[in-house]
């Protein structure tokens, strides 16, 4: 008897064949003269679903990942079939895990070694990973620099040296005293590949805290449902060559995913990345005299990782020219622990 599951697998196999054919067509189409026109070429562009099936549907696990899950008694609550799309909970709508499962689990394993996560935290992280698919963001645009001075912001940053593939940190949303639409605070990471860079984090002005993603196609400006003084958790890592996974979680319950994106980015490779954490208070007109302020913005326990070790950000693994305050005496360092943790307030004094 032909089962529902076998039908799904046959459909997935047909999809992969179609995607392979489309990929060949795309490679051939690169030789088409420019006068063929963008409209003629656009029909070969892959959809998000096709990208997922061809690049982000690997559910295989290494022995290292399997042993980690067994040690922490994790219930994965999925069925796996080699590299096929992972079916979750047998939902009628066929919802599917999206990503490279082995790298997602190893990124969690790295963080668990750094922070000493409990079995409950590990299980919650995995629940959030498989229950909510990331947004697929593709943007080839690049920008020269993330630090907004001398343009429209002042703040505090710590940038790693080159050679990493993952960064994690807790962060506390500051208390805001903002009475206009031009003053906005950003708490984010910049990830640099050898080719380009991108910003990923949160921002808040007069109203809600929302996601921040730049350069952006989508995924920017979505409410994260958090208030001043609450804590979030960042995990940003190389998921595979050319793909960066960017996750923000509720620090108290990892299964509560506040924002998650798989970002296709030129030059992304393991042990080739630079990560910069930053707290920046900005004004759209570079006028820092509104009388507004933010107090007690924090990064806590910021770790960076290679494929062989992890370490907190410190004087040996960070760039001496890109760490500390920038923008003058409006930035106050309330406390810090080396370059691993800091508590920052910024005042736009009149």
Per the listing, tokens 């990331």 go with 134
Domain ranges of the chain: 4-133, 153-347
Per the listing, tokens 């793909």 go with 243
The C-alpha atoms of residue 124 and residue 143 are separated, in whole angstroms, by 35
Per the listing, tokens 């921002």 go with 203
pLDDT of residue 278: 97
Q: Is the distance from CB of 307 to CB of 165 less than 8 angstroms?
A: yes
Closest-CA residue to 342 (of 293, 309, 299) = 299
pLDDT of residue 94: 40
pLDDT of residue 169: 98
Three-state DSSP class for residue 195? coil
3-state helix, strand, coil in the chain (%, to 5): 25, 40, 40
pLDDT of residue 221: 86
pLDDT of residue 328: 85
The C-alpha atoms of residue 233 and residue 301 are separated, in whole angstroms, by 10
pLDDT of residue 213: 86
Q: How far is CA 287 from CA 59, 84, 293, 327, in A?
A: 50, 53, 13, 12
pLDDT of residue 55: 86
The C-alpha atoms of residue 307 and residue 168 are separated, in whole angstroms, by 14
pLDDT of residue 50: 82
pLDDT of residue 51: 79
> DSSP characters for 100-166?
EHHHHHHHHHHHHHHH---HHHHHHHHHHHHHSPPEEEE-----S-S--TTTSEEEEEEEE-S-BSE
**DSSP class of residue 32?**
S
Longest dimension (CA), the chain: 77
Under CATH, what is the fold of the domain 153-347?
Jelly Rolls (2.60.120)
The C-alpha atoms of residue 53 and residue 99 are separated, in whole angstroms, by 10
Residues of the chain with pLDDT under 50: 1-5, 21-44, 80-95, 142, 144-149
The CB density around residue 322, as the number of other CB atoms within 10 Å, is 16
Closest-CA residue to 268 (of 170, 142, 171) = 142
């Amino acid at each position: 008897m032909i089962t529902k599951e076998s039908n799904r697998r046959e459909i997935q196999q047909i999809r992969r064949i179609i995607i392979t054919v489309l990929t060949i067509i795309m490679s051939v189409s690169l030789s088409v003269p420019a006068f063929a026109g963008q409209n003629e070429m656009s029909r070969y562009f892959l959809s998000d679903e096709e990208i997922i099936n061809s690049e982000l549907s690997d559910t295989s696990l290494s022995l290292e990942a399997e042993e980690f899950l067994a040690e922490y008694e994790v219930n994965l609550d999925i069925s796996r079939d080699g590299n096929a799309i992972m079916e979750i909970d047998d939902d009628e709508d066929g919802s599917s895990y999206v990503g490279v499962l082995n790298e997602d689990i190893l990124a969690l394993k790295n963080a668990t070694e750094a922070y000493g996560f409990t079995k409950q935290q590990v299980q919650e992280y995995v629940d959030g990973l498989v229950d909510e698919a990331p947004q697929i963001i593709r943007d080839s645009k690049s920008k020269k620099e993330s630090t907004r001075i001398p343009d429209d912001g002042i703040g505090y940053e710590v940038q790693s040296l080159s050679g990493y593939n993952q960064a994690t940190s807790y962060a506390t949303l500051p208390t805001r005293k903002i009475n206009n639409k031009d003053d906005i605070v950003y708490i984010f990471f910049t990830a640099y590949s050898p080719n380009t860079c991108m910003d990923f984090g949160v921002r808040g002005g007069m109203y809600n805290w929302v996601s921040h993603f730049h350069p952006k196609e989508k995924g920017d400006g979505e409410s994260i449902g958090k208030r001043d003084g609450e804590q979030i958790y960042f995990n940003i890592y190389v998921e595979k060559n050319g793909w960066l996974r960017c996750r923000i979680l509720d620090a108290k319950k990892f299964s509560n995913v506040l924002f998650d994106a798989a970002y296709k980015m030129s030059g992304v490779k393991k042990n080739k990345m630079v990560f910069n954490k930053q707290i920046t208070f900005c004004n759209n007109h570079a006028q820092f005299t509104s009388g507004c302020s933010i107090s007690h913005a924090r990064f806590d326990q910021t770790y960076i990782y290679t494929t062989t070790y992890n370490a907190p950000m410190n004087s040996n693994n960070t760039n001496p020219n890109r760490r500390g305050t920038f923008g003058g005496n409006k930035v106050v360092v309330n406390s810090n622990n080396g370059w691993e943790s800091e508590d920052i307030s910024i005042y736009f004094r009149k």
